[in-house]
Amino acid sequence: MGSPPSDSSGPSSWSDQPPGPGRPAGPYGPRHGAGPPGPEYPGYGAGPPRLGGRWRRLFAGILDIVIVGIISSPFTYESFNTVWDTRKGVFVQIPVQHTLLASVVGFLYYWLLTAFWDGRTVGKKLFGLRVTDISGRRVGVGQAAIRELVAWVLYATCCLGWINLAFILFTGRKQAIHDMAAKTVVVDS
């Protein structure tokens, strides 16, 4: 007895197959179905948790931005450089904001907390969210660094930060571009 002949009109890959025995549907679709309980999903019970809600992600993000603003405020003061204006023939003062240092503080906040505080920032912790890899396991240090580096580059580039965030609305796993780059998702904790 052999296997039945393949039907060309049927599913072409694991992700196209409907849920059934051996192919349970999970929060990420049939391909990322509920896995067995155990060490691969520590603290999650019988599989990866549900994807985090978009509104909670928004409010957690706003809270984190406020916290980063408070932490980085000593680095964002305005100082003035006195330079010679050749057109006017006088010395003028030009305001200089220390945004590079503030950006470093923000990057470190998101990266270190995500990497070493079980995928959470303060905002994510308060709103019951965490960052995991796409299979529901804890995010690694390098993965968290890639995620935040891509996010910060996009935020620093004109309107790409808004486009990055808009991807959450249109992707099945609610992933922003930086999530896709690092192969991460934001889930309920």
* Of 181, 144, 188, residue with least CA distance to 164: 181
Q: Give the model's pLDDT for residue 125.
A: 96
User: pLDDT digits over 6-28, tens only?
Assistant: 444 444 333 344 444 444 444 44
Burial class (CB in 10 A: 0-12, 13-18, 19+), 62: exposed
Contacts of 186 (CB under 8 A, 6+ apart): 51, 52, 57, 124, 129, 130, 131, 174, 179
Q: Give the model's pLDDT for residue 74.
A: 81
> Is the pLDDT higher at 12 or at 87?
87
Return mean pLDDT, the chain: 77
Confidence grade of residue 91 (pLDDT, cut at 50, 70, 90): confident
What value does the mean pLDDT take over residues 100-106? 84
pTM of the entire structure?
Answer: 0.66
Specify the DSSP class assigned to residue 181: H
Burial class (CB in 10 A: 0-12, 13-18, 19+), 10: exposed
Poorest-confidence range of 49-63, 95-109, 113-127? Answer: 95-109
What phi, psi does 158 have (nearest 5°)?
A: 40, -115
112 pLDDT higher than 80: yes
38 pLDDT higher than 80: no
Residue 50 CB coordination number (10 Å): 11
What value does the mean pLDDT take over residues 127-134? 94
Q: Give the model's pLDDT for residue 120.
A: 96
Confidence grade of residue 135 (pLDDT, cut at 50, 70, 90): confident
Q: In percent, how much of the chain has pLDDT > 70?
A: 70
What value does the mean pLDDT take over residues 106-115? 95
Contacts of 3 (CB under 8 A, 6+ apart): none
Q: Give the model's pLDDT for residue 84.
A: 80
Specify the DSSP class assigned to residue 30: G
Q: Give the model's pLDDT for residue 156.
A: 81
Residue 163 and residue 161: Cα distance in Å, rounded?
5
What value does the mean pLDDT take over residues 120-129? 96
The tokens for 112 are 């270190």
